[in-house]
Structure 1
Amino acid sequence: MGKTAGLKDIKLHHRRPRRVVVQIAFIISTIWVLYHSLSSLGGKLYPELPEEVEKPRTSPSSTEWEKHSVFTQSLSRVLELLPNDQQTKRLLTPIESTGEQRLKEFGIRTRQYKRLFDAWETLHINKSTPNHFIHDDIIQYLYKNPSIANLMDQDMTNIIHDYESYRSTITHLSTLLFPWTSPYFADHLQLRQQLHSAGRGIVFSAGNDQVPWLLTSIPSIRRLGCTLPIEVMYLGDEDLRPSSRARLESLPGVITRDLRKMVNDKGWTLRGWAGKPFAVLFSSFRETIFIDADSLFLQNPEILFDDFAYRQTGALFFKDRLMFPESKREWMKDVLPEPVSSKAQETRLWDGQSGHMQESGVLVLDTYRHFLALLLVTRMNGPDRDGDEKNGIRGVYDMLFGDKETFWLGWELVGDTDYAFHNGSVGTIGIAHVEPPKPVPSEGAGLSTGLLPNSKEYTICAPQLLHLDRMGRPLWFNGWLLENKFASAGEKRPAKFEAYVREEGREPDWQLKESNLACLTSSKVFSLSQEETGVLDMIIAMGRRAEAF
């Protein structure tokens, strides 16, 4: 049985090759017929490929998208904001107007610059580290990462051309608006970024005549517990001689710095109190307490950084005396952006209470947060400061009272409403005098018939403008220590500080007299505490040691 089966299998295997050959021959003949049929119809089995085939754009991988998405979004924003030729021409046209129109136009240009600068900064700043790094190799980065053009669905050449146009526009606009920061700083990007992690400090500005004041003020705030570094800004050797600088730098934590080396004031001259915003902007600190040379603290000034209004806004200002009613509402409408902000409408200049809103003896500022606003304030106190009546030029100081109002108005002009006025009361400090009781007018006749019960009033006359903290206690005052800071050398005597009065109501009773003496009359007088008296005695003792009087 096994042999028979084996022989049968062998026979079958001999037959299979013949069948396979026949099948293959049939397939080949069929293909041959089909090929010739197609040829006879003019068809082609494989159409010829074109000489050049457009390469399909490859879709970026998810990894590439994640790697470049932030950069791509930032670059897209820059290209989206790129002004066209007509807009660029308008932006870069020199501003020839004067007075209110000039101030308004610089506000408009600065707001436009801020929009361009914010996008430019976002593209160039690497925020992956605590100390921001300026990423200034954008074109090289594009070359190394060609997939970015695919992500943006744009041609690489066009991207680079548009980037260069934007760079040219923003560079020329910054030079038109604020040229004095160069060459000390290469550009505004570098200036702002060095402020980012710069910490806190105190800034004074002073000349030779104010050195005894600082030799009094600085040791006194150290005694009050202030440990912040201090920079004293000055304007060249003629302003603060080397020997004066050496005396100041002998104090712990104090360094003097020459603004003349930092500010390019070609075509105008930086001088006097107009240097305040420059001193703040060019200091080494991000968060700065600027203190006038004649301002003195009864409490540690560092507490101002903890003030609620400062923490909310990053810009804390102090109010001036409420006197000299004047409305500047129409002026504000002409100059400020429309609609005028609610904060601007809350000021005295708007409601006519006074032409004086701010006093700039102390400023508390986050310079990084309010960089563009501070730049515009430097312009208002720089080349646009002074007028020239002979040539028909109206300057900022012709429209406002010195530097005081330029700070909050500069913020408003840029569209930056993150600022606050300290809500402590304003008053004066010295010796209180009791005023005689006021007569009571008779009914109908308008004649005096008697005296008002409990009608005592108290008046203090002094050059010092006192600022109270939120609890109503003395915080700081300006006007220095003397009874009369304009007195001749032999007549300089420290004032006597026993009590203080503060403004009451919407129309406090101020009277301005000679030698910057201001008298305030109020229904309440407050005695200084033992601690406050001790601080003032300490300050006066330091003044004597510094030969300030």
Structure 2
Amino acid sequence: MISLPRSPVAKLVIGLLVIFCLIAYNLQYQSSYNRESWNTPGGSYQDQDQYKVGGSKERRPVRSFKVPKNLHLTHDIAIPYDIPPWTQEDTDLLDTTMGFHLKTELLKNEYAKTENVANNPGKINFAELSKAERVYKSLWNHIYPIYQGLSGRDRDRESTLYEMAKTRPEIDFFMRLEKRLFPWLHYGRRTSFSLVRSYKGRGLVFCAGNGQFEFVVTAIQAIRIRIKSSLPIQVYHMGENDLSNERQKYLRDMASDIEVIDVTQTLDNDYMQLGGWAIKPFAMLASSFEEVMFVDADAYFLQDPAVLFEDPGYMATGALFFYDRTLFGGIRTGSDWLRSVSPLLSSFPPTSRMFRMVSAHEQESGVVLINKRTRLLGMLATCKMNSKWERELVSYKVFHGDKETFWTGFEMIQEPYAFMRNYGGVIGELRPDNDKSVCGAQLHEDHQGRPLWWNGGLYRNKNSRVYRYLQFDYWMTGGGHQKHRERLTNDPDGMKDVLRDLGLTSPSQLKQEPKDAEWDFGESCLAGAKVNQLTQLEKNLANGYVGIDKIARIDGEKMNQGEKVNPRMHDWNAV
């Protein structure tokens, strides 16, 4: 046995050494805990991502998502952090005092259907929500294989899973967490598993009320009659008061393979309380399509939309988004908010225009593709941002409507996604006083740089209420490749990282790509890049949509006057 010194001074020295060692150990442990707590508790990180600090080994979160070679040339890819898999240690933790506090923390913000959360806005805490969604992701990936292994129909499987929850704390926690996060899901079903197993095939989803009726008629007939696409179509609305029965019947009758569906019959609208833009992600979620392409009512294609299901960025990630125009730089509201609620972000945000304060907007949500078989969790997180209180108290105040909720929803739960590289361009006609400017609607290109679709309708400038039909002859790209110039101009602090990544020593060594074209937002004109002419086929398609729109508006006006209109009386192919 070791004898301790009896001298008071020696005892004091030894005591101080012990205290110092305990403090040092605690600081090291806390540092490691703070890093690891960015992800879900109880998870493990891959050894390949370990690094040494002060001679000790610590671990960082991992990004294992692999990007196909050369995809970065045509797309910007968000590589997420891995959410550690749920383990037996995590399940064991749930039955401890720490587990009790964890569950209390993650479940505490649930609100009732009839509750007016505006009276208690503190219940909507996106920082806590992001943590809860990442724990949910780990649990979902753990429990779905269990569900798949059960026998019987989905109703039987859900009943069995509920029985299992009585003795398995992780299943019970999952059920309660899903109910808290996504309460609108449990409408005729008990879990998200039965919903995801119901998805099949590919298709297009539109949303329309009475106010968008003429737009959606033109958009659908453009696809069916002009493009001759055979993709099935579903049109979602929020009940008869949103889209009248007469207009519903018109849409069903006007072309083949069109369903008209009330979203509130699939998801619980007492929680969603849908209105305006918010219906879009919920319609995508409710759709029976496994691979779903949302299309705005005033969006029009120059190619068969089916080509997007074969897009390399979509095939690699399961989610494809398009950039908005580059407008209103110098605003940091969105980037500051996202940093504050989710300190662990994918590889995309730091390179985005929003984070570099080049543009206030990042995404244009006129066309969105999501594979719900592989990216259901990103879809759920996006819907959460558009639910009643989340959108009114937070997300629609931070962002302009639903646009940014798609990619930021994927960030909240850390799912991969792809942006088509080119920024929003323009399609239309030359500016009368400047033949180097193209004016009209917002154009988007495919991954090969060819005109693909545009958003904003058929008018010269709907923002300024100029409702003259456009003459579609020209287009101009919005750019999207000169990120080094933008970083140099807008983020001097990040230049050292850029230079290090490229192996350079001075900003003067950077290859400066041509400056992007710039918008005159008031006039809806773009200048500063090459003026391109549409092909004759593209001109015929685009200008032919005007004829369809004229018929749709005449029929819409007749309905407003109480007349019954049969869409089959028209020879749409002759328009």
TM-score (norm 2): 0.67
Equivalent AA in structure 2 for residue 545 of structure 1: I
- Pairing partner for 1:316 from 304, 315, 320: 320
- Pairing partner for 2:187 from 158, 177, 183: 183
CA-to-partner distance for each residue in 1:57-95, whole Å, 9 max, x for gaps? Answer: xxxxxxxxxxxxxxxx99968855756333222222226
- 8 Å contact kept, 1:288–1:366: yes
> 1:215/1:320 Cα in 2 relative to 1: closer, same or farther (>3 Å)?
same
Q: 1:255 maps to what in 2? A: 259
| Pairs within 5 Å for 1:244-393 | 244-250=247-253, 251-266=255-270, 269-325=273-329, 326-327=331-332, 328-338=334-344, 340-387=345-392
Q: 2:519 maps to what in 1? A: 510
| Pairs within 5 Å for 1:79-158 | 79=91, 82=94, 84-94=99-109, 98=121, 102-126=125-149, 135-136=157-158
CA distance in 1, matches of 2:267, 2:158: 25
Alpha-carbon shift at residue 537 of structure 1 (Å): 2.9
Alpha-carbon shift at residue 424 of structure 1 (Å): 3.7
Q: 1:406 maps to what in 2? A: 405
The SS at the match of 2:131 is helix
Equivalent AA in structure 2 for residue 383 of structure 1: K
Q: Does residue 1:460 correspond to 2:460, yes or no?
A: no
Alpha-carbon shift at residue 99 of structure 1 (Å): 7.9
> 1:299/1:168 Cα in 2 relative to 1: closer, same or farther (>3 Å)?
same
The SS at the match of 1:431 is strand
Q: 1:234 maps to what in 2? A: 237
CA distance in 2, matches of 1:134, 1:201: 29
Alpha-carbon shift at residue 434 of structure 1 (Å): 7.1
CA distance in 1, matches of 2:427, 2:387: 34
> 1:369/1:99 Cα in 2 relative to 1: closer, same or farther (>3 Å)?
farther
Q: 1:497 maps to what in 2? A: 472
Which ranges in structure 1 are unaligned for 5 or more consecutive residues? 1-72, 142-158, 388-393, 437-456
Worse overlay, 204-213 or 180-189: 180-189
How many percent of aligned residue pairs carry the same amino acid? 31
Equivalent AA in structure 2 for residue 413 of structure 1: M
The SS at the match of 1:277 is helix
Q: Does residue 1:427 correspond to 2:425, yes or no?
A: yes
Equivalent AA in structure 2 for residue 122 of structure 1: P
Q: Does residue 1:537 correspond to 2:546, yes or no?
A: no
Q: Does residue 1:396 correspond to 2:395, yes or no?
A: yes
Q: Does residue 1:212 correspond to 2:214, yes or no?
A: yes
- 8 Å contact kept, 1:332–1:350: no
- 8 Å contact kept, 2:158–2:190: no
CA distance in 1, matches of 2:543, 2:438: 19
Equivalent AA in structure 1 for residue 296 of structure 2: D
Alpha-carbon shift at residue 166 of structure 1 (Å): 3.1
Alpha-carbon shift at residue 294 of structure 1 (Å): 0.5
CA distance in 2, matches of 1:235, 1:180: 14
CA distance in 1, matches of 2:165, 2:305: 50
The structure with more radius of gyration: 1
- 8 Å contact kept, 1:213–1:293: yes
CA-to-partner distance for each residue in 1:137-183, whole Å, 9 max, x for gaps? Answer: 76899xxxxxxxxxxxxxxxxx98641x3333222211111111222
Equivalent AA in structure 2 for residue 106 of structure 1: L
CA-to-partner distance for each residue in 1:326-357, whole Å, 9 max, x for gaps? Answer: 2344333212242x321121211111111210
- 8 Å contact kept, 1:125–1:134: no
CA-to-partner distance for each residue in 1:379-415, whole Å, 9 max, x for gaps? Answer: 211123444xxxxxx4211111111001000001101
CA-to-partner distance for each residue in 1:22-54, whole Å, 9 max, x for gaps? Answer: xxxxxxxxxxxxxxxxxxxxxxxxxxxxxxxxx
Which ranges in structure 2 are unaligned for 5 or more consecutive residues? 1-84, 111-116, 480-513, 557-575
CA distance in 2, matches of 1:227, 1:506: 40
The SS at the match of 2:239 is coil
Alpha-carbon shift at residue 268 of structure 1 (Å): 5.8
Alpha-carbon shift at residue 98 of structure 1 (Å): 4.9
CA distance in 2, matches of 1:100, 1:519: 43
Q: Which has the higher contact order (CA 8 A, sep 6+)?
A: 2
Equivalent AA in structure 1 for residue 325 of structure 2: R
CA-to-partner distance for each residue in 1:422-453, whole Å, 9 max, x for gaps? Answer: 124531112113766xxxxxxxxxxxxxxxxx
Equivalent AA in structure 1 for residue 324 of structure 2: D
CA distance in 2, matches of 1:380, 1:248: 30
The SS at the match of 1:168 is helix
Q: 1:149 maps to what in 2? A: none
**Cα RMSD (Å) of the superposition?**
3.1
CA-to-partner distance for each residue in 1:343-374, whole Å, 9 max, x for gaps? Answer: 12121111111121001000011012111221
- Pairing partner for 1:473 from 431, 434, 450: 450
Q: 1:40 maps to what in 2? A: none
| Pairs within 5 Å for 1:23-42 | none
Worse overlay, 102-111 or 265-274: 265-274
